[in-house]
Structure 1
Amino acid sequence: MSQYGQALQDTAGLIDSVPQIAALVDDLYGLSTARPALFIDVEGVDLSRHGSVSILQILTLPDSRTYLIDVHILQGKAFETPGRNGRTLRDILESKCIPKVFFDVRNDSDALYSHFNVNLGCVHDLQLMEFASRTFSKRFLTGLSKCIEKDAPMSFAQRSGWKATKQEGLHLFAPEHGGTYEVFNTRPLPTKIQQYCVQDVQFLPRLYNYYKARLSEAKLARVLQLSVERVALSQTVAYNGRGRHMALLPTGL
């Protein structure tokens, strides 16, 4: 079985019902908070306050299981449905005690806050961690794909599979490749889109470990503070998540 076939086997399918969300919340509250166990990404149509949220991906450790939450179908129920203890996915996402890892949280936060009033807490932004850990030129921020290529060592077969999944996804959803972001709202969700969603989070733990090992406690603390500031910035009226300014360097790192 290929790496990506296994990745789909390790996916809890598309979570699109209230009972499934309630069970997931209970599972997530059972995870350790001593170090990050939640690695998160968001997909949508023009993901921002001007677009919509389609899928919320959560990879959990130590089991490396990926959950694809169907926000397009569930809408607010995805965040407001309580588990047995009365707590919700919103409570997890907003908690200041449960660490959550994103790669460039800004547009994810903009969309979640604008459409569902979710105010993300305790965010570890991997893009900032990569920047803070660099020993070479610091002219621009780096995107996720380049970070995976540079800092997540893979075998030739794994790299070929990763690139193929990435390209197949781009051809389905990226307008510049002939696709449409509306594919994220197609049900049943195409298998290649499921693979793309899984792949988007499956390398985050590896990158987190790589960058954290290269950061002093002081630099990590600064990254966490800047992560808080990124969330706050994404909630401002003037925030614009598109444009070259998004690659400009953060201050103080």
Structure 2
Amino acid sequence: MSTSSVQNLNIGPNTPTSSENMSALALDSGGLIDTATAMSSLVDILDGQPTTPPSLYIDLEGVKLSRHGTISLLQIYVLPRRQAYLIDIHILGEKTFSTSSLTTGRTFKDILESSTIPKVFFDVRRDSDALYSHFQVRLAGVQDLQLMELATRSFPRRVVCGLARRLFAPQHGGNYQVFNERPLPEEIRQYCVQDVQVLPRLWAYYYGKLTKAWEERVRDASRDRVALSQTPDFNGEGQHMALAPDGWSQL
């Protein structure tokens, strides 16, 4: 995602890079969550957040993010707390999703798979493909911002819009391996936080323009995207990824 429109990031050079023995309060500092202890505290924070508007805004980073690549980081912005959290999937692996909250016994996987907890993504398909293929996470309750933008257009809905990710793209001289460097470089931390920090503003803008009929279409198409990403022959690369859902261009 382009970071040009996001400012006032409250992360500095003294931000902790490890979350060993972190309390929930310490998580407010924006440190990298890379232990089961910190993950358990984060699940406590995520569980039970308000659902209207959505509280959870998510994006993933990785090397060739898909079933054919890896997941390095998952960043999640919690709107009521106005705080982004960076989860180190490169280090935690499966513990990211299986570590239980000490309060409720729920896991991050439970939250991601709950149909009653809305999660906002921008084009969920590759993220869902990677989560399902590597960790058997079946996303539910997804609201896809890319589809919300498409639904609110006053011009043709033939193709979807993307968000620029030029900063680390190999075709532009970048290298996605940077997301696996530890300690995580400060500029990468800032990029990841900014990536999700802007999503609530986009959601509020597009949601305010949606009719009830289009809100239902977005909900259904978001669910269809998740289901498609879990099929054996899903391909997250190619021109087909830019096409609007079937029938949308005629509406």
For the aligned pair, the TM-score class normalised by the smaller chain equals: 0.7 to 0.9
- Does residue 121 of the first structure (1) align with residue 140 of the second (2)? yes
Give the % identical residues.
58
Aligned in 2, Cα 1:66/1:11: closer, same or farther, shift over 3 Å? farther
- In angstroms, what is the RMSD of aligned CA positions? 1.7
- Does residue 183 of the first structure (1) align with residue 178 of the second (2)? yes
CA contact (8 A) 1:103 1:126 kept: yes
Q: Which residue of 2 aligns with 1:21?
A: 39
Q: Which residue of 1 aligns with 2:157?
A: 138
Tell me the TM-score normalized by structure 2.
0.86
CA contact (8 A) 2:11 2:30 kept: no
Deviations 1:158-184 (A, max 9, x none): xxxxxxxx76xx1xx321222211111
Deviations 1:168-227 (A, max 9, x none): xx1xx3212222111111000111111111111111100101111111112101101110
The alpha carbon displacement at 1:11 in A equals 5.5
- The letter of the residue matching 2:246 is T
Q: 1-side partners of 2:154 and 2:9: how far apart?
A: 36
The alpha carbon displacement at 1:31 in A equals 1.1
Identify which range, 102-111 or 208-217, moves more after superposition.
Answer: 208-217
- Does residue 195 of the first structure (1) align with residue 190 of the second (2)? yes
CA contact (8 A) 1:31 1:37 kept: yes
Q: Which residue of 1 aligns with 2:22?
A: none
Q: Secondary structure at the match of 2:91?
A: helix
- Structure 2 residue runs of 5 or longer lacking an equivalent are 1-5, 16-27
Q: Which residue of 1 aligns with 2:25?
A: none
Q: Which residue of 2 aligns with 1:106?
A: 125
- Match of residue 214, structure 1, among 200, 203, 209: 209
Q: 2-side partners of 1:127 and 1:248: how far apart?
A: 11
Count of aligned pairs between the two proteins: 228
- Structure 1 residue runs of 5 or longer lacking an equivalent are 146-165
- Match of residue 6, structure 1, among 10, 15, 19: 10
Q: 2-side partners of 1:233 and 1:15: how far apart?
A: 30
- The letter of the residue matching 1:216 is T
